[in-house]
Structure 1
């Protein structure tokens, strides 16, 4: 899996202190004894696929900030020995309040991590308890201050809409408290109830415990309007940035920049082939085991270009589609998008088509209609 052009690097850390009530990510608690063996496996794979140029690094989980001191010193020593990091490479680590210490933040800065994504989700303690988070809002404030004191100048804060018991007023409270801190980036997501999670069981027992669809739609509209007034520009369905501080790694993903995934369950896209690593921890630590390898078809590439491109505020253009897939497909797609312009879900500027707020709210169903 070698790529000639610069690629993005994703590293998965599956460990966490406690699984949250909404979480269906590949993560688990109680296996801290595996951390150093897992690091050995990461180093094994990073070394195996070295010699490539990297434009961004994203460390996700799980809770990457729950691993002990020394983990990232060793990890990034391996990365720098085996890869060429571009001088302006964005290096992000996801961190949860309650697991970030001053010593860890100093290690992150020393290792070269220049962006932290803090998983707040809500600034209201009762909502944090409902979510099953291990921290309070006060814990978050301490973590935020720790990151700033360590010299981290690019911070994202995660916020969730649609939490059981959440109201429009409590959402405004969260937005106001976050805005006072002036983070460079805010990710505001609508809760998705995933099968197999405690929230899935709760929804089946009492769906009225969750805000209804109309309320969540108003929450989303409120969030967009509030953040715009505070100087945050929306550049994707769920992402807002000040002063152009967009997440380069995520934008690359939406634009289908090749990426190498390292770690349990990680996916890669190299030379239009998608790879996925096993989700079995013991198998992974024993030897690299790909669960799947799939060469994408032209149809797959077209669908991904539309689906991922329309997540961005800038949308997709006739010219981009024509250059990638020819005039026939570009013309056909634009004609289909015209329907959504007429229905008020999309707008267009010259040859570029993009969702408006009304369209973002129903984007999943529209994107499903567009897939072939």
Structure 2
């Protein structure tokens, strides 16, 4: 039986860099995009000998950047190469990230032909002023055009990305964004809190203090926004299954669940990361080096790390606890050969006493309060006694 494997393909292009974005992405002309498509296909073809007979692909995720900036025939060519080089499950979840303003009916039809069955649309806010603040290229109405076009073309598994705690945002404006989005009835919603990443324009403005207006929400407002999200989305039938992700029944993102459950994944494209067994590595993040190495048939991998048992146990706990279902004690013992309480008993006892963890049968999971302070909880699972 073939081993399960997930694929992530990185498309590093966008129309314009958003003010908060620190992803590996940048604007590029048509010639550069076509050069990249040609090169990533060559990379894909290079995996056939080692991967075709060993693995079966359960999920594929085209991320970026803005994958929807590519032409429909370019996406079709990439998916054709994947099907020729990997064994893809008949029921594979195949997602493409989409930005309003880059989508046409022809592209949607091409994605359908290519086998893409899930869209992740980057809305971020239903408020046009907030969208301008973020540096987005679209308006609420342009998002609606994209969403309704996708429904018309038969896409029945759609995620919408939202960002909270952005400059000038209020509880009222966030409530409006949540309600307007949920009333569209997408199958999945992701609601992330803004992080000010070093090197971005937002970091310069709000951490270094170059600009102070509009102000970021204060801590009380941010907490109210955070607590409101799960309560309001529950009213629309969305179940929180991970710290920042909500889905209708049966529509949790299988690809992301694979990351949190530490399944094997292969990253393809510029800077893409991989986890194969105990080996973690990423492709070169330098564009010209990437192109040249593919042309010469040279190894793209950088920062190859052999994970220790302790590394794996840490990741098992702090990735698994991101899911609201928590981690399985039995699964921990199967992987690591010891009961989880032998390894993390003191930490778990302390966190349960503090009301941050709870144990129910086989499962260890964060409480509601634990979800609120999850980063502080995860620190306790570093340096296990293994």
TM-score normalised by length of structure 2: 0.93
**Distance (Å, rounded) in 2 between the aligned partners of 1:309 and 1:61:** 24
Name the CA distance, whole Å, in 2 between partners of 1:318 and 1:267: 28
Whole-angstrom distance in 2 between the partners of 1:208 and 1:153 = 38
Separation (CA, whole Å) in 2 of partners of 1:365 and 1:224: 20
On the 8 A contact 2:332/2:339 being kept in 1, the answer is no
Instruction: Give CA deviations for 1:264-316 in whole Å, capped at 9, x if unaligned.
Output: 00011112111210000011111142222111111111111111101111111
SS at match of 1:160: strand
Structure 2 residue 303 is the aligned partner of structure 1 residue 300: no
Shift of 1:24: 0.3
Q: Secondary structure at the match of 1:76?
A: helix
Could you tell me which residue of structure 1 aligns to residue 11 of structure 2? 13
Partner of 2:36 in structure 1? Answer: 38
Count of residues paired in the alignment: 370
1:353–1:208 CA distance, 2 compared to 1 (3 A) = farther
Determine if the alignment matches structure 1 residue 284 to structure 2 residue 297.
Answer: no
- Unaligned stretches of 5+ residues in structure 2: 295-299
Cα distance change, pair 319–335 in 1 and its aligned pair in 2 (3 A): farther
Q: SS at 2:199's partner residue?
A: coil
SS at match of 2:173: helix
Deviations 1:238-276 (Å, cap 9, x if unpaired)? 000002200000001110110011000001111211121
Q: Contact 1:15 / 1:32 at 8 angstroms: preserved in 2?
A: no
Match 1:220 to one of 226, 231, 240: 226
In structure 2, the partner of 1:369 is 380
Match of 1:176 in 2: 179
Cα pair distance change 1:301/1:230, threshold 3 Å = same
The reply on whether 1:360 has 2:360 as its aligned counterpart is no
Aligned residue in 2 for 1:351: 362
- Measure how far apart 1:328 and its partner are: 5.2
Deviations 1:187-234 (A, max 9, x none): 011111100111101112139811122221211110000111111111
Q: 2-side partners of 1:61 and 1:91: how far apart? A: 15
Indicate conservation of the 8 Å contact 2:120/2:159, yes or no: yes
Instruction: Give the structure 1 partner of residue 82 of structure 2.
Output: 79
Q: Secondary structure at the match of 2:185?
A: coil
Runs of 4+ more than 2 Å apart = 30-33, 326-332
Any idea what the Cα deviations from partners look like across 1:301-360, whole Å, max 9, x if unmatched? 111111110111111132222121122554331431221221122222123221123211
User: CA contact under 8 A between 1:260 and 1:270: conserved in structure 2?
Assistant: yes
Distance 1:83 1:327 in 2: 36
Q: Separation in 1 of the partners of 2:276 and 2:358?
A: 33
Partner of 1:140: 143
Cα distance in structure 2, aligned partners of 1:4 and 1:337:
36
* CA distance 1:135–1:363, change in 2 (3 Å): same
Q: What CA distance in whole angstroms lies between the structure 2 residues aligned with 1:166 and 1:207?
A: 12
Residue matched to 1:274: 280
Equivalent position SS for 1:187: strand
Q: CA RMSD in A?
A: 1.5
- TM-score when normalising by structure 1: 0.96
In 1, distance between residues paired with 2:153 and 2:120?
A: 14
Structure 1: tracts of 5 or more residues without a match: none
Q: Contact conserved, 2:95 with 2:116, CA < 8 A, in 1?
A: yes
> Is the CA contact (8 Å cut-off) linking 1:278 and 1:290 kept in structure 2?
yes
Q: Distance in 1 between matches of 2:189 and 2:12?
A: 23
Partner of 1:154: 157
Contact 2:19 2:202 in 1 (8 A): yes
Report 1:239-254 matches (<5 A): 239-254=245-260
CA–CA distance in 1 between the matches of 2:220 and 2:358?
23
Mapped contact 1:322–1:330 kept (Cα < 8 A): no
Contact in 1 for aligned 2:332/2:340 (Cα 8 Å): yes
Greater CA drift, 131-140 or 23-32: 23-32
Note if 1:192 corresponds to 2:190: no
Structure 1 residue 366, shift from structure 2 partner: 1.8
What secondary structure is seen at the aligned counterpart in 2 of 1:311? coil
